[in-house]
Amino acid sequence: MSDTKKSFLIINRKAPYGSSAARDALDVALTISVFEQPLSLLFMDDAVLQLLPAHNAAAIGQKNLSANLSMLEMYDIDQLYVCQRALEQRGIRPDDIELNIILLDQSGIAALIKKQDQVLSF
């Protein structure tokens, strides 16, 4: 296997439930991290709802996504970026989120995307 490392950015755009996109994005992130590639996650649009604690997924017959999010630190995935405007539009305060996040405005998001080798969007 090559020692060349490529940086990855996974952009999450979907709500935590209603489709498999949120779970798929986390599965891909965990897989990439196993190969020790530089990895960042960006939560935009309805994906910021994934970051709220205490999901009650059992009420809709789904597995709770919060357990997967709590594993990010264990996999050394600590570059968690969040679209500030998406939080504001949904009335979420940064301190409502229990994970260590980095807020970005639109220009910060553009800069983050530009410096990546690979960008995957879910």
Calculate mean pLDDT across residues 39-55.
92
Report if residue 46 sits inside a domain.
yes
Q: Tell me, what's the pLDDT at 68?
A: 76
pLDDT tens sequence across 62-89: 666 777 788 888 899 999 999 999 999 9
**CATH code assigned at 76:** 3.40.1260.10
Report if residue 2 sits inside a domain.
no
Report if residue 3 sits inside a domain.
no
Q: Which domain holds residue 24?
A: 8-121
pTM here? 0.90
Contact 15, 46 (CB under 8 A): yes
pLDDT tens sequence across 13-30: 999 888 889 999 999 999
Q: Tell me, what's the pLDDT at 69?
A: 84
Phi, psi of 17 (to 5 degrees): -135, 165
Report if residue 86 sits inside a domain.
yes
Nearest to 83 by CA among 102, 62, 58, 67: 102
